Amino acid sequence: MADNNAPPENHDSSVDANVPSENENEASIDALARKVQESLSHAKKHKFWETQPVGQFKDLGDSSLPEGPIEQPTPLSEVKQEPFNLPTPYEWITCNMDSDEMCNEVYALLTNNYVEDDESMFRFNYSKEFLLWALRPPGYYRSWHIGVRVKSSKKLVAFITGVPAKIRVRDTVIVMAEVNFLCVHKKLRSKRLAPVMIKEVTRRVHLENIWQAAYTAGVVLPTPITTCQYWHRSLNPKKLIDVGFSRLGARMTMSRTIKLYKLPEQTVTPGFRKMEPHDVPAVTRLLRNYLKLFVVAPDFDEDDVEHWMLPKENVVDSYLVESPDTHEITDFCSFYTLPSSILGNQNHSTLKAAYSYYNVSTKTPWLQLMNDALIVAKKNGFDVFNALDVMHNETFLKELKFGPGDGKLHYYLYNYRLKNVLRPSELGLVLL
């Protein structure tokens, strides 16, 4: 189980926008895995991950291996009851996110030490409201919110979390942990804390009789079930260029660029409105029908939809289309708010980014639905709208002037093997 995110990468408008074909995509993941395996010296191979029940690079293409759990559950009485040992100066804590003081400590650790882009220009800045939303879904376990303190000073220096989720793989619904927010203080990166933190969250998940997990990372580990591409749509192109997130295209002026990305003032779809509490049953039905189309997807019930989809200011926005004639809910779009701190810029401190979440088109064409989503995001002050090429997103990305970023996001399952690498369009899962 591992960290759950990729860095906020720069959007390079000069990147070739050609999307690989399905076969190329599958081949490229296999080639990437082989390249990584070959390039690592024996001493540096994924020592930790080679001891874990995850797909191994050496097994790629071996069709004799069965799909499903890699290891069977052990009796709960045999799960290690005591936490793993930390280096002497440190101690485990369980983080009570209901406490303002604890929430502030976690926020400070992540804001100063979490994922950065390669050039150290941007760093994720999850708000406290976002963390409370992300970490307290229905049925969450407080024991899965794990911190590491310095014994002497009581300073919080590391963090990792899990939340329970029902995830369907083909026809099988499995209760898994979604593991996220693995963060170690910058000054302690050489202390090898991450593997012991992953083992500890795994132990605590096992104590609840849960044996599988889902996670994402910006790095290649053994072995991605798919690799997705981030795409970016400029909403405030001048600011994005000013802070170095994107570049002025060849033969483009600033005024032409602003004109290129200009959006209408108002949405165009009749019946397009914000989701409200009474919409939960209809949105649940819409999402469940749509997510059946994908190999790996969440199995949402009404409680999940109420938690994850109902709009929360500066956390998640959800809109739907209600037919003016029949009052049927026919379409849905949502995005979550994840700003990045802008490092070392005198004029701007925060990049306000919207991340595409779950979208369903049945009556409204994709381009129209998602253009309306862009319009409301722009009106709400977002600078950029980001989307992965998962689900049916590829149908609108190029047309709506998204450009490919230079970062990839790799999806992983722990203790569950898929026979084949998935195309991003076969994945129906977005992890925060």
* Structural domain boundaries enclosing 296: 228-410+421-426
Task: Characterize 375-405 residue by residue with b for buried, 16 or more Cβ atoms within 10 angstroms of its Cβ, and e for exposed.
Answer: bbbbeeebbbbbbbbbbbbbebbeebebbbb
Q: Enter the pTM of the model.
A: 0.90
Single out the residue in 206, 222, 238 at which a domain terminates.
222
**Same domain assignment for residues 190 and 101:** yes
3-class SS at 265? coil
**Same domain assignment for residues 115 and 255:** no
Amino acid 115: pLDDT: 81
Distance CA 353, CA 378 (A): 10
**Same domain assignment for residues 253 and 382:** yes
Distance CA 374, CA 354 (A): 9
Amino acid 250: pLDDT: 87
**Same domain assignment for residues 189 and 216:** yes
Residue 27 lies in a domain: no
**Same domain assignment for residues 147 and 262:** no
**Same domain assignment for residues 180 and 249:** no
CB 349 within 8 A of CB 342: yes
Taking each helix axis from N to C end, the angle separating 280-291 and 302-309, rounded to the nearest 10 degrees, works out to 100
Place of tokens 């209600």: 322
**Same domain assignment for residues 205 and 242:** no
**397 part of the active site:** no
Tokens of 405: 């970023």
CB 177 within 8 A of CB 1: yes
**Same domain assignment for residues 313 and 328:** yes
Count of C-beta atoms within a 10 Å radius of residue 87:
11
Residue 239 lies in a domain: yes
If one counts the domains in the chain, the total is 2
**Same domain assignment for residues 202 and 252:** no
Distance CA 67, CA 57 (A): 16
271: left (phi over 0), alpha (psi -120 to 50) or beta: left
Q: What is the CATH number of the domain that holds 275?
A: 3.40.630.170
Residue 322 lies in a domain: yes
Amino acid 191: pLDDT: 87
CB 424 within 8 A of CB 292: no
CB 294 within 8 A of CB 267: no
Residue 14 lies in a domain: no
Sheet of 340-342, strands arranged across:
122-124, 340-342, 350-351
Amino acid 119: pLDDT: 84
Catalytic residue among 263, 287, 320, 432: 432
Single out the residue in 207, 222, 237 at which a domain terminates.
222
**Same domain assignment for residues 270 and 183:** no
**Same domain assignment for residues 147 and 278:** no
Amino acid 222: pLDDT: 87
Residue 318 lies in a domain: yes
pLDDT along the chain (432 residues), means of 10: 49 36 50 50 64 86 88 95 96 97 97 86 94 98 98 97 98 97 93 94 98 94 94 97 92 95 98 98 98 98 98 98 97 97 93 98 98 98 98 98 92 94 97 95
Residue 33 lies in a domain: no
How would you classify the pairing of strands 172-184 and 212-217? parallel
Residue 34 lies in a domain: no
**Same domain assignment for residues 203 and 246:** no
Q: What is the CATH number of the domain that holds 58?
A: 3.40.630.30
Residue 370 lies in a domain: yes
Best CA proximity match to 94, nearest among 154, 144, 157: 144
Amino acid 17: pLDDT: 32
Tokens of 216: 């994402």
Amino acid 393: pLDDT: 98
Amino acid 10: pLDDT: 53
Single out the residue in 192, 222, 252 at which a domain terminates.
222
